[in-house]
Homo-oligomer: A and B are copies of this chain.
């Protein structure tokens, strides 16, 4: 059984945002799958997806600060800065974190660990709505 849908996230400010519930609510077909997968694919090159701690907002704040340290703005070696100082850093962060997630389904639910949540990582200062393709397959 395959099911695929495309939807948009609301506009998020720059930073790391918990979107597990938002995604689950968009895919009621989950309940029909006993064993399978959800693949979540973000169609952008300046925002990313990752899985991390779902309870304490300080994790997401530390993520924003540490990724800004690993991949700072205004480095001398940057040339792709047409759209501002957050342009090439957003691309670099996207490739370090990744554009897609594959999560197992077990008995109609995402089989995440207790502390795992899905983060939408917005790397631009002023981005629009981000589009995601979600594909479910299983039996």
On A, residues with C-beta under 8 Å from B are 2-4, 35-37, 39, 41-45, 50-53, 56, 58-59, 61-63, 65-66, 69-71, 75, 77-80, 88, 91-92, 94-104, 106, 111-116, 119, 131, 133, 135, 137-139
Q: How far is the CA of A105 from the CA of B43 in the complex (A)?
A: 13
24 contacts between A and B (CB under 8 A): A2-B138, A4-B104, A36-B135, A41-B104, A43-B113, A43-B114, A43-B116, A44-B115, A45-B52, A50-B98, A52-B91, A52-B95, A53-B91, A61-B80, A62-B77, A62-B79, A62-B92, A63-B92, A66-B88, A69-B75, A69-B77, A95-B119, A100-B101, A100-B102
Check A88 against B59 for contact (C-beta < 8 Å). yes
For the residues of A in contact with B, the DSSP-based class is mixed
Check B97 against A95 for contact (C-beta < 8 Å). yes
Nearest B residue (CB) for A50: B95
